[in-house]
Amino acid sequence: MLRLTEALHKVIKAHGEVSYPFEGCGLLLGRVVDGVNVVTEVRPLPNVWPVEEEKRVRFRIAEDDWRDVELAAMLKGLDVVGVFHSHPDSLPVASPRDLAWAAWPGYSYLITQVQGGTAVLSRSWQLLPDRSGFVEEDVVIE
Binding residues vs other proteins (CB under 8 A): 23, 32, 49, 57-61, 63-64, 66-67, 70-71, 74, 79-81, 83, 85, 87-88, 90, 95-107, 109
Which residues lie closer than 8 Å to 35 by C-beta, 6 or more apart? 1
Nearer to other proteins, 6 or 106 (CB): 106
Considering the complex, what minimum distance in angstroms separates the CB of residue 88 from other proteins? Answer: 8
Considering the complex, what minimum distance in angstroms separates the CB of residue 132 from other proteins? Answer: 14
Considering the complex, what minimum distance in angstroms separates the CB of residue 89 from other proteins? Answer: 9
Nearer to other proteins, 9 or 55 (CB): 55
Query: Distance of alpha carbon 17 from its chain centroid, rounded?
Result: 14
Considering the complex, what minimum distance in angstroms separates the CB of residue 111 from other proteins? Answer: 9
Burial class (CB in 10 A: 0-12, 13-18, 19+), 118: exposed
Nearer to other proteins, 6 or 99 (CB): 99
Nearer to other proteins, 6 or 24 (CB): 24
Is there a contact between 61 and 24 (Cβ–Cβ < 8 Å)? Answer: no
Considering the complex, what minimum distance in angstroms separates the CB of residue 49 from other proteins? Answer: 7
Strands 134-137 and 118-127: antiparallel
Starting at the edge strand found earlier in the chain, the sheet holding 79-88 runs 134-137, 118-127, 108-115, 79-88, 25-33, 36-45, 2-4, 139-141
What is the rounded distance in angstroms from the CA atom of residue 84 to the CA atom of residue 124?
Answer: 9
